Chain A
Amino acid sequence: MRRGTFVRWGVPIAAAAVIGAAIGAGPVIAAVSGDPVLPERSAEQLLADAAAATGKEGGIPPMSGTVQQTASLGLPSLPALSQAGASSPLSLLSGSHEVKVWYGAADKLRVAMPTQMNETNLIINGGEAWYWDSATNTATRVSVKAPAAPTHTPAPVPQTPDLTPQQAAERLLAQADEHTTVRVINTAEVAGRPVYQLVLSPKDAGSLVQEVRIALDGETYVPLQVQVFAKGSAEPAFQIGFTQVTFTPPAAENFTFTPPAGAKVEENTLALPEEAGRHAEEHAERAKDVAGEAKVVGDGWTTVAVVPFDLNDVTAQASQEGGEGAALLDSVLASATPVSGPWGSGKLISTKLVTALLTDDGRLLVGAVTPEEITRAAGVK
Chain B
Amino acid sequence: MSTAESATPSRTTSPATEATTPPAGGTATATAPGPGPRRTPGLVPVTETRGTAERTPREPEPGRAGGPAAPLPRRAGAFWRLLGSELGLTFRRPRNLLMLSVLAIVPIIIGIALSLVSAPDDGIGGVIASVAGNSLMLTFFAFSFLVLLLMPVTVSVVAGDALAGEAGAGTLRYLLAAPAGRTRLLLVKYLNAAIYAYAATAVVALSSLLTGLVLFPAGPLTLLSGTTISMGEGLVRIAVAVGYVGAAMAALAAVALALSAFTEVSIGAIAATMVLVVVCQVLRAIPELDVITPYLLPARFTDFDAVLRAPIDWAALWDGLLAFAAYIALFGSIAWARFSGKDITS
Contacts and interface: CB of A to CB of B under 8 A. Distances in A.
Q: Determine whether A and B are in direct contact in the complex, meaning some CB atoms lie less than 8 angstroms apart.
A: yes
Given A11-B337, A116-B305, A260 B226 contact: yes
B130 A258 contact: no
A91 B287 contact: yes
B309 A114 contact: yes
B286 interface: yes
A353 to B, nearest CB: 16
Nearest to B126: A135
A63 B288 CA distance: 31
Contacts of A233: none
A4 interface: yes
B127 interface: yes
Nearest to B302: A116
A14 B225 CA distance: 42
B85 interface: no
B144 interface: yes
Nearest to A116: B302
A16 B341 CA distance: 19
A14 B332 CA distance: 12
Given A12-B330, A12-B334, A116-B302, A261 B220 contact: yes
Interface stretch (B14-22, B90-98, B151-159, B310-318): B310-318
Interface in A49-86: 66, 70, 72, 77, 81-82
Contacts of A91: 287
Nearest to B226: A132
A337 B97 CA distance: 60
B5 to A, nearest CB: 39
A210 interface: no
Interface in A217-264: 244, 251, 253-254, 257-263
Given A8-B337, A132-B226, A82 B285 contact: yes
Interface in A279-328: none
Nearest to B141: A117
Interface string B104-145: 000000000000000010000111011001000000110010
Given A11-B336, A77-B288, A112-B225, A253 B126 contact: no
A137 interface: yes
Contacts of B224: 114, 117-119, 134
A91 B287 CA distance: 9
A5 interface: yes
Contacts of A117: 127, 140-141, 144, 224, 302, 305, 308
Given A5-B341, A116-B305, A260 B227 contact: yes
Interface in B164-188: none
Nearest to B133: A262
Contacts, number: 112
Given A82-B287, A117-B302, A263-B226, A15 B309 contact: no
A132 B336 CA distance: 50
A203 to B, nearest CB: 32
A23 B311 contact: no
A294 to B, nearest CB: 32
Nearest to B128: A137
Nearest to A259: B226
Contacts of B313: 100, 114
Contact of A251 (B286, B311, B330, B337): B311
Given A8-B337, A117-B140, A134-B226, A262 B129 contact: yes
A95 B226 contact: no
A139 interface: yes
A136 interface: yes
A340 to B, nearest CB: 31
Contacts of A253: 227, 310-311
B4 interface: no
A121 interface: yes
Q: Which 10 A-B pairs have the closest CB atoms?
A: A95-B287, A260-B222, A12-B333, A132-B226, A135-B126, A119-B224, A95-B290, A8-B337, A12-B334, A262-B133
14 contacts: A12-B333, A15-B329, A15-B330, A112-B309, A116-B302, A117-B224, A117-B305, A121-B225, A134-B130, A134-B226, A244-B315, A253-B227, A253-B310, A260-B226
